[in-house]
Amino acid sequence: MESGDDVRCRPAGIGTDVTSNRSDIDWAAIREDFPILEQQVNGHPLVYFDNAASSQRPRQVIDAIARYYRTDHANVHRGVHELSNRATNAYEAARRRTAQFFNASSPEEIVFVRGATEAINLVAASWGRARLKPGDRILLTEMEHHSNLVPWQLLAQETQTEIVWWPITEYGEDLDWSELDRLLTPEVKLLACTHVSNTLGLINPVEKICRRARENGTITLIDGAQSAGHLPVDVQAIGCDFFAFSGHKMCGPTGIGGLYGRRQILEPMPPWHGGGEMIDEVNFTGATYKPPPYRFEAGTPNVAGAVGLHAAMDYLDAIGRENIFEHDRELTEYACGKIEEFGNLRLFGPRQGRGAVLSFLLNDVHAHDLVSYVDSRGVALRGGHHCTQPLMQKLGVTATARASFYFYNRREEIDILLDALQRARRLFGDRPA
C-alpha cells in the first residue's frame, strides 16, 4: 500500500483531496474515527489529555493491522513464497512512506526500531562508540527527556567523554542563547536536543540549532518524539544528521518507530545488534554486514507495526500536518487563556508559540493527588517528573501535572478539565501557591 492508494486510511470528514483549508475539516467526524474515546471512565465521558505519553489510534490504523494479520503475515526478506513477498512489500512500502513523510533523501536513510528511545540508543551504541574519544564533549539541553540523556551518560562513562549542558531560562520559556557560543566549542562532537519539550511545550528552532552545529563541525541528533505527526517535519530543511521518532505518539502502534540518519553518516557506522537479516555473509571466523538500513535491523522486524505506521502517516497527511498543528495551537491557546484566569496555578514553559503540552501546579497540591482526583471525573492527565528529572530540579519542583492535546480533542473538554480543577481546589483547600 503506497501513499494515497488506499482510501480506507482516509479520515472521516475528509474528501478525496487533502484539504488546505482547515475550516473545511469536520473535526467532529474525525474524532469518531477513534473508538476508544467513546467510552466513559468513572461514570464520566472520557477526556483523554495524555497524548504526549501516547496518542490514540483511529480505526483506520487498527483495521490496517488487522488486515495484515488476517491476510498477509509472514516473515520478511527471507522467503520466496507469496505471503513472504506480500509481507516484505508491505514492510518496505512503509519504509518508503516514512522517508516521504519526513522528506529523507532516500528510504535507505530510514531504520526501523521500537521507538525514539531505541533510535537514540542505536546512535549512541554505534556512532558514539566508534567516534568519541576521551576529551570529546556531548552538548545536551537541560530540558531533555531521559531517553535523550541517559544513553549519552552511559556513552560518556564508557568513552571518557564529557557532557555539557545548554541551560534554559529561569522559567523554562526558552533556551539561554547567550550561552551557546561559550558551549559550542571544537570539542563538542555531538549536539542532541528535543524538537518539542514533553514537559515545557517549548518548540525549539532546530533549523537554527543544526546550522550552528554544522558550522562547528558538530553532528546533530533531534529527538522528534513530540513533533512527528504534530507538525510538518522536513529533515533536509532542518539539516540534522539524525532524527528519532516513535509511532505510538503519532496515531501509530506501539513498538515501532524510526531513526533517520543522513546516508554519509550511516554508511560507516558498525552494527549494534547481531543476528539474522543484518548479515551479508557469515562463516566460522567472522561475518560481513549489509549496508544501511538493514545492518541495523537484526532479527524479525515488527512488520505489523510498520504496516500500522504507514496507515497512520497516510491518515495524518490526509488531514494535513499544518492543519493539525494549527488546530492544536488554537486549543492550547484557549487552555492557556482559561488557566491564566484560574488563579493559584503555576504554568511552566512559554506562554505563546508552544506545542500542545501544558505542565502546571495547582496551589501546593501534589501532582499525583491532582491527577488521581481529575481521573475520578473522567479526565486523563499525566502526573510526575515526565522523565525529565534534571529539568524538574532546575525548575525547583519534584513533579507537575500535565495536559497534552491532539487533533481529536475539543474545547469543551478543556472546560471539563477546568471544572475538575475547580472542584479539586475546593476539595484540597484554596491554599496559596
- The residues, any chain, with a CB within 8 Å of residue 230's CB and separated by 6 or more, are 196, 250, 321, 324, 325, 328, 355, 356, 406
Q: Is the dihedral of CA 119, 257, 387, 241 positive or negative?
A: positive
Q: Is the dihedral of CA 392, 148, 326, 402 positive or negative?
A: negative
Looking only at the bridges linking them, the beta strands covering 345-348 and 357-362 are antiparallel
- Whole-angstrom distance, CA of residue 339 vs CA of residue 371: 16
- Contact at 8 Å (CB) between 402 and 363? no
Encoded amino acid at 279, one letter? I
Residue 178 CA: distances (Å) to CA of 10, 77, 184, 210, 238: 46, 51, 11, 17, 22
- Contact at 8 Å (CB) between 391 and 312? no
Burial letters for 222-233: b for 16+ Cβ neighbours within 10 Å, e otherwise? bbbbbbbbbbeb
- Whole-angstrom distance, CA of residue 110 vs CA of residue 262: 9
pLDDT of residue 289: 96
- Contact at 8 Å (CB) between 288 and 37? no
Residues with active-site annotation: 387
pLDDT of residue 433: 43
Residue 286 CA: distances (Å) to CA of 131, 267, 280, 282: 23, 20, 11, 6
- Ordered domains of the chain (ranges, CATH): 31-52+321-428 (3.90.1150.10), 67-316 (3.40.640.10)
Percentages helix, strand, coil for the chain, rounded to the nearest 5? 40, 20, 40
Q: Within a 10 A sphere around the Cβ of 27, how many other Cβ atoms?
A: 16
- Whole-angstrom distance, CA of residue 176 vs CA of residue 166: 7
User: What is the model's pTM?
Assistant: 0.95
Spans in the chain with pLDDT lower than 70: 1-7, 13, 15-20, 430-433
Q: In 108-178, where does DSSP find H-type helix?
A: 116-123, 129-131, 150-159
- Contact at 8 Å (CB) between 64 and 312? no
- Determine phi and psi for 28, rounding to 5 degrees: -65, -40
Residue 5's SS3 state is coil
Helices (H) then strands (E): counts for the chain = 15, 17
Residue 361's SS3 state is strand
Burial letters for 81-102: b for 16+ Cβ neighbours within 10 Å, e otherwise? eeebebbbebbebbbbbbbebb
